[in-house]
Structure 1
Amino acid sequence: MGAYDNCIILIPALQPDERLIQMIHGLHERGFHKIAVTDDGSSDDRQKYFQEVEIMGVKVIHHSKKMGKGVALRSALRLADEKIGESDFYITADCDGQYSPEDIEKVAKELLENPDCFVLGVRTYERKKGKKVRFWLNSCQKLFFRITNHGKECPDPRSGLRGFPASLKKLALCTEGKSYDYELNFLDAAIQKTPVVVVPISSETHNINETSHFRPVVDLLGMYLKFWKYLFTSNVATVFDLVFFIIFESLFSKLGTISIFVATICARAISGSVGYILNRYISFQSKLNPGREMVRYSIVFVCQMAASGILVSLLSVIPIPTVIVKAIIDTILFFVVYNIQKNWVFAEK
């Protein structure tokens, strides 16, 4: 029996090397014997590493092609259920030397002390020569995470070293995302349900690791895919609003000045409907009751319009062009509404 037999380690692996073997040895030495690994489409010459860890007692599942880290993590979790059984806690890690067995044990200890919490291993990024890119990328992501999550802070949103209780297993399995976006989506969803505890871990192995499959710019953009889709659908709805405003203003031109009001209401009704459809099926890919969502979306939509109009009117006394005031207010409301739609209108309950 190991010291951490109530913990299962989940490891997605793509093109592993000797460090996977070393990591398993290190985990066994510390009492971790329940480990599930996903081979995410690695080449034939790397299969020897999976065969070796299987001999060491690790459960392995193979993907015929690369599916992405998110899919690999869900596969490892299902494999653990089938081949290892139920567990109180789950810890996700990587195979390429980013997180040491010592750091994994730190997360496990914190998880045992806080069994109802989501534990995140947090790296420290310093503004040093050769590390400035990662420092600024992490700083930008922390800010972006805070803006898109109701002001909640997370010192290392893209850390793959996480521990969570069995109560979050169902959420982990149903969270969407194929690649690194899965990790952010799961973090977003988890912090809505349980407190987050952070554990300082080493960042040196990550900084010198040359075989990491993480592409800083491309994958960071992909992690926020839901937000970029929301930005796209919002712009499409805005185009609909402008086009139909022009059409309706022309149709109701005989009504005089009231034609602007009528055209605005009609155009907003159409653009709001388009926005709801696009956000439901593209941005948030919701599978929940459309009736409930439509009511909530309508409430948010009307409140957003009212808030924009009222705030612009109140702040029009400021000696700044009204168009600039409106642009600032609408930008702030854009992020506020994104959070509300993500966590209330289209939220998984």
Structure 2
Amino acid sequence: MNSEIVILMPVYNPREEIINYIKELKKERYSIVVVNDGSDEKYHSIFESLVDDCTIINYPVSKGKGNAIKKGLNFIKENNQDRKGILILEEDYPIDKMTQLNELFKQEKIFFIHTKGKRIFSKIFSMIYHQEFKNVDSRIIGFSMKYLDQMLKVDENCYEVQVLIDCVQKEITVKEIVVDQNKECFHLKNNNRNILYVIFLHLFRFISSSVISSVIDVLLAWLLLDVLKIWMTSDFWRIAIASLVARVISTVENYIYNKKIVFKERTETKQTAIRFLILTVVITILSTLFVYVFSTLGIMSEKLAKPVGDLLLFLLSYNVQMKWVFSKE
């Protein structure tokens, strides 16, 4: 089984210990691809010592770990597609334990191996993506060859975190393996600020979509609330029609943006469109009732009640879209 696994190692300014580690991997019949991500000249002798033990891809200038990983994956796609799986190693993992991973490759699983990470990152990740991991920045990732094209589409900024998010969004079950201690790293660690940025990016996209949609919705509703006074005497139906027309127009923008950018076409168009329409109807009814009740009771004006109500419904909409509208189930 070892000969059917390709080990990909993004490397930057490595220590000499990597030489013996790779030679030991070679003895176990693993295919090894090392991407030298612009290491300093004084480290060139280390790579020269490895030319007989692995394939080395050299880049004169460092373009980042994520870029190195994707370059390596592209090389594997072109030269090693007959293999069963790929193991991305950013730190050394006990060779005697690697055979235990063979079953995961046979089951065509995606798995992450790491120590416990920052608890705050795990909690934030769980709040946004509704799935908790001990560490969101894994330095060892394994997957069967059938996921290679998917892995090549993942953004390279904090690649490891992006892979985890992508798996959660696509509802792919992943295996988490927690180990006791950190090992020798082959490349620089991800910056904490970048990790937080990537974790929040999905929510930022949803917020931006919602803000644009809400601005369109509120401005149209305000306009229609005034215009419809000319023909309508019933406040309830005037508010209902203004809310409905404004919501239909803003919904088209919101649906297209969320499907293409936020949730990235996770399901068939017909299914998501129907679910999104149902959600829109429910949100519109709740928004209409909120505006009518609060304005009728004199708690706030109808023009103020509209954005306040929509703000309160924001989290409901996000969670329903995440768990149901754009869910595969």
- TM-score using structure 1 length: 0.72
- Structure 2 match to 1:220: 196
Which letter maps to 1:283? V
Q: Which amino acid counterpart does residue 221 of structure 2 have in structure 1?
A: F
User: What is the DSSP-based 3-state SS (H/G/I as helix, E as strand, rest coil) of the residue aligned with 1:35?
Assistant: strand
| Residue 83 of structure 1 pairs with residue 83 of structure 2 | no
Of the two, which has the highest radius of gyration?
Answer: 2
What code does the residue aligned with 2:116 have? T
**Partner residue, 2:89:** 93
Q: Alignment partner for residue 177 of structure 2, among 193, 196, 199?
A: 199
Letter in 1 for 2:319: F
Superposition TM-score, scaled by structure 2 size: 0.76
Q: 1:272 to 1:52 in 2, by over 3 A?
A: farther
Q: Is contact 1:12–1:40 with CA below 8 Å preserved after alignment? A: yes
Contact 2:239–2:288 (CA under 8 A) maintained in structure 1: no
CA contact (8 A) 1:111 1:164 kept: no
Residues 336, 293 of structure 1: alpha-carbon distance in 2 compared, 3 angstrom cutoff: closer
- Judged with a 3 Å threshold, the aligned counterparts in structure 2 of structure 1 residues 101 and 287 are, in CA distance, closer, same or farther, namely closer
Say how many residue pairs are matched. 312
Distance in 2 between residues matched to 1:78 and 1:162, nearest whole Å: 16
Identity of aligned residues (%): 18
1:252 partner SS: helix
Deviation per residue, 1:54-99 (Å, 9 max, x gap) = x1332233456554444432321221233345211211121xxxx3
Q: Give, in whole Å, the separation in 2 of the partners of 1:160 and 1:185.
A: 12
Per-residue CA shift, 1:219-266, capped at 9, x if unaligned?
A: 331244233222222222222222222122122222231322221112
**CA offsets, 1:16-59, max 9 Å, x none?**
44354354245335x25311122344455554444433x13322
- Distance of aligned partners of 1:252 and 1:23 in 2 relative to their CA distance in 1, 3 Å threshold: farther
SS of residue in 1 equivalent to 2:220: helix
1:267 corresponds to: 246
Task: Please state if 1:232 is matched with 2:208.
Answer: yes
Aligned equivalents of 1:196, 1:204: Cα separation in 2: 21
Change (3 A) 1:331 1:312: farther
Q: Pairwise mapping of residues 1-349 of structure 1 onto structure 2 (< 5 A)?
A: 4-28=2-26, 31=28, 33-42=30-39, 44=41, 46-53=43-50, 55-63=51-59, 66-94=62-90, 99-102=91-94, 106=97, 108-112=99-103, 115-116=106-107, 117-125=109-117, 138-149=118-129, 151-173=130-152, 175-180=153-158, 182-190=159-167, 192=170, 195-205=173-183, 212-254=188-230, 255-256=232-233, 257=235, 258-284=237-263, 286=265, 294-305=273-284, 330-340=314-324, 343-344=327-328
**Residue pair 2:14, 2:186 contacting (<8 A) in 1 also:** no
* Residue identity matched to 1:277: I
8 Å contact kept, 1:147–1:335: no
Distance 1:68 1:310, change over 3 A: farther
For the residues of structure 2 that align with 1:39 and 1:227, how far apart are their CA atoms?
34
Q: CA RMSD in A?
A: 3.9
Structure 2: how far apart are the matches of 1:339 and 1:185?
A: 19
Gapped runs of 5+ residues in structure 2? 293-299
Counterpart of 2:296 in structure 1 is none
One-letter code aligned to 1:245: A
Gaps of 5+ in 1: 126-137, 314-320
